[in-house]
Amino acid sequence: MKKLLFTMIVCAIAAMGANAQKNAIAVVDMNYILKNVPAYESATEQLNQVSLKWKKEIDASAAEAKSMYENYQTELVFLSKEMQVKKENEIVEKENATKELKRKYFGEDGELFKKREALMKPIQDEIYTAVKAVADAEGYAMVIDKSSARSIVYAVAKVDISDQVLAKLGYSK
């Protein structure tokens, strides 16, 4: 009798542990969430517009440098040595200015990076807070982004809390 009671208690504890294990991990699809957050779409559009504007500015500068070089090539036979050197220096300066402009806008710590950080960070923080709130409320110990986790082959739909996160953010699908 004691063995049977002990076995039943061990099985009950194991079943509780297995049930708790089921809810330990949840997944979210950040791409899905971001597509349903209007502020993200707006920020992306702003970034695209400013990026396009800066690209046009760089392209115009590069075209000017190319035009200067082509003009130099056609005038080369008529120019004195001093004028050739002067024109070559002007062309090199223009090419360097174009490279500097490209670095300034699109470099590692360029204006686009700073603008993206300023526009996206508040949205990401808001989503993180919502994910944390849903995870805490549902008792999840870990939440994995299935859109960026390449090692997730399959996840049961009931552990996907993406719609709950959108609802917490005030958006419903």
What is the sign of the dihedral through the CA atoms of 39, 32, 126 and 44?
A: negative
Q: Which domain holds residue 35?
A: 24-169
Give residue-wise pLDDT tens across range 75-97: 988 989 999 999 999 999 999 99
88 in a domain, yes or no? yes
12 in a domain, yes or no? no
14 in a domain, yes or no? no
1 in a domain, yes or no? no
Nearest-angstrom CA–CA distance, 160 and 33: 11
Query: Residues of 144-161 as b/e, b for ≥16 C-beta within 10 angstroms?
Result: bebbeeeeeeeeeeebbb
18 in a domain, yes or no? no
Give residue-wise pLDDT tens across range 39-84: 999 999 999 999 999 999 999 999 999 999 999 999 988 989 999 9
Q: Nearest-5° angle of CA 105, CA 37, CA 156?
A: 115
**What total of structural domains would you count in the chain?**
1
Contact between 162 and 28 under an 8 Å Cβ cutoff? The reply is yes
90 in a domain, yes or no? yes
DSSP 57-77: HHHHHHHHHHHHHHHHHHHGG
